[in-house]
Amino acid sequence: MDATLRDDLRAVVEEAGAVALSWFRRVSPSWKADGSPVTEADRAVEELLVERLGRLFPGESVRSEEGSRIDGRPGAPCWYVDPIDGTGGFLAELAYWGPTVCRIDGGRLDVGAFHVPRLREYWYAEAGGGAWRDGIRLPRLADREIHRDDLLFLPSRFHRRGPIPWVGKVRALGSSAAHLAHVSGGGGLGTLIPKWSMWDIGCGTLLVREVGGEICDLEGRPVEPESVRPGLPLVFGAPNALRSLFAEGWLAGLVGRGNV
């Protein structure tokens, strides 16, 4: 693990989290074309993250959800930035939201970070270097039976689509990055991400990979998010959880019923 890189990213996303907290309970949303909210806090955090990453990694590209960008040298690694993943939760004064960044180098994710300001959590993953929460390395996911208290993270409107035959409990935290982080940490056995861009899931993808989790499409086929079109529905989780989800085909059926 590159400890300098880990610590540099921690400093950057924690500074970004402090900026977001300075706007907490002080903003109203406007609405993007896709119907999702955006606030002055998103834009302030984006400005800081893009500037800091450009300074730390000169010559590398940066792409951010709200449109800011730096064009690096040809073939350079590219950073993807979500200034506040979970803006809806931020507006609702909930806990699970925060800045997340990831980098793709040579067509592969190689590093990612996610900070949850209200809980002071820092998640970090590095290809081949492990997944970490608050400086503690996460163990590999256990392949075990599913119990009635095990969590499946789904989008917040998913209950409208019909019965969900998961033997455990279903939760929605309002942040794809948080869902993926908690799957990597063993707090949930799986999650569905029906719509995404790389800034939403890059860090979480690495977190899940580094603890031995799997990533599949709705038919249960292994998928690498770097190699498919953004937005393709993806399922992440422990192998046993994914076997259960795909066993009867109900998950694909529910995803096909209208907008999530």
Band of the pLDDT at 257, cuts 50, 70, 90?
Answer: low
Band of the pLDDT at 163, cuts 50, 70, 90?
Answer: confident
Is residue 154 left, alpha or beta, with left meaning phi > 0 and alpha meaning psi from -120 to 50? beta
> Over the stretch 198-221, which tens digit does the pLDDT of each residue have?
999 999 999 999 999 999 998 899
CA separation for the pair 257, 63 (Å, rounded): 32
CA separation for the pair 183, 207 (Å, rounded): 9
- Which amino acid is residue 218, in one-letter code? L
pLDDT at 115: 98
What 131-134 contacts at long range (C-beta under 8 Å, 24+ apart), as own/partner pairs, is 131/184, 131/206, 131/207, 131/208, 131/210, 131/211, 132/1, 132/6, 133/181, 133/185
Q: Of 163, 175, 178, 156, whose CA–CA distance to 259 is shortest?
A: 156
* Mean confidence (pLDDT) of the chain: 92
Domains along the chain with CATH numbers: 3-137 (3.30.540.10), 151-255 (3.40.190.80)
pLDDT at 78: 98
> Over the stretch 68-112, which tens digit does the pLDDT of each residue have?
999 999 999 999 999 999 999 999 999 999 999 999 999 999 999
Q: Model's pTM, two decimal places?
A: 0.94
Flag whether pLDDT at 240 surpasses 90. no
